[in-house]
Structure 1
Amino acid sequence: MESPLSYALAFFFALFLFLSSSSLANASTQLIDDVCKNTINNAECLKILDSNPQALSASSYKDLAQVALGLAIANAEDSQTFINNLLKSDPRDAIKKCASSYKAVVASFKSSKAEIEEDPMTANYDAKIAGDDAGNCETALSSQGVKVPEISARNHVVQFTCLMLLLSLSLIPELKLPIC
């Protein structure tokens, strides 16, 4: 027969594990809330990050920035493919500019990802450049009167994901980066 002490120890161990996992989930949710409350669209930010298992398991702002970078790279590569395919049937100058811009967007996000551990300030700069390049694409479209809603939507996603990344990095206490 098991002793009451072994039952008590098992109970307290199980309780400790439950509370630990609960506090980690709460910490991740707090990180996400801290980032999203500083964006221009809190609901959109929460929708993106709360639906991402990696974001929900982030234990630091740097971890959350890594998640945002992963999302940004995947979206930028998909957008680059979309624009390059569109360019084959629609070779207008604005579309060419967007193709060039998205080549730079992908490169900047990848550079940011490579730098985030060793040089977060440079990673922050590269992420900002990626957002600016998506903005250059949007400017080319609007200045030439070209309406491609799919590209405009993709530009918005890149710029918004970039903002989430920059906010994540700005909340790392030791970096002392300004909040966008």
Structure 2
Amino acid sequence: MATIVQYYLLTLFLINIFLFHIPLTKAGVDFIVNTCKHTQNSGFCVAALESDRRSFNASTVVELAGIAIEIATAAAGSTLSLINDLGGQYPGTAAEEALKQCAQLYGNAIDDLEEARKDVWAGDYSGAAEPVDSAWEAPRSCEDAFADRSLSSPVVAEDKDVDVKCGLCFDLVDLLNS
């Protein structure tokens, strides 16, 4: 059975959580919103950054850019996994060729995003812009690989997702360069 002291300590603990953590979250949200106002798609920017809890503790654009790059890298990795899974379903076809091309593009995009992440954390913001831009080409080039063969892409939704996430990375890196 719980004693009155345990109830008292629990109450103090809960009050402490509410008093000291909500303002940080509010400040985090305000910082995210204010930063995202400087991007091309501010609504998506806020939603994407708020999907990662680390963003609420960010106090610099560098931190938000790093988080955005990690979000884009994860999306590119998921898309690459799907592309690899789909590759076996189309042996010897033009679709298989397009998927192989997409796999190469996404493998390179992941490497580019990792390079950009390192550049951002090292303070080389202009150095980060080029690999982000290169990674941003992957979803569009993947869609072109199917269009060039007059095929429908089985990864159109994933390509769009990676496209907007890389666009966010580009906007945040561009903000760091201004």
Coarse TM-score class (shorter-chain normalised): 0.7 to 0.9
* TM alignment of 1:22-33, pairs within 5 A: 22=23, 24-33=24-33
2:109 alignment counterpart: 105
Q: What is the rounded CA distance, in whole Å, between the counterparts of 1:167 and 1:34 in structure 2? A: 14
Task: Determine the structure 1 residue equivalent to 2:170.
Answer: 166
The alpha carbon displacement at 1:55 in A equals 1.4
Equivalents in 1 of 2:35, 2:20: separation in Å?
A: 24
Offset at residue 51 of structure 1 (A): 2.8
Distance 1:40 1:117 in 2: 23
Match status 1:61 vs 2:74: no
Structure 1, residues 121-167: CA drift from partner, whole Å, max 9, x if none?
11121111100122111111223222234x11111111111121122
Within 5 A, what are the aligned runs for 1:2-151? Answer: 18=19, 22=23, 24-91=24-91, 92=95, 93-118=97-122, 119-149=124-154, 151=155
Secondary structure of the structure 2 residue equivalent to 1:104: helix
Matched, 1:157 2:161: yes
**Cα distance per residue 1:41-92 (max 9 Å; x no partner):** 4433332222321112211111001111111111111111110121122242
Change (3 A) 1:128 1:34: farther
How many residues align? The count is 158
Instruction: Pick closer, same or farther for the CA change 1:42–1:85 going to 2, 3 Å.
Output: same
Amino acid at match of 1:133: A
Q: Is the 8 A contact 1:71 1:161 kept in 2?
A: yes
Contact 1:105 1:134 in 2 (8 A): no
Aligned residue for 1:161, secondary structure, equals helix
TM-score (norm 2): 0.76
Identity of counterpart residues, as a percentage? 24
TM-score by length of 1: 0.75
- Compare 50-59 and 28-37 and name the one that shifted more: 28-37
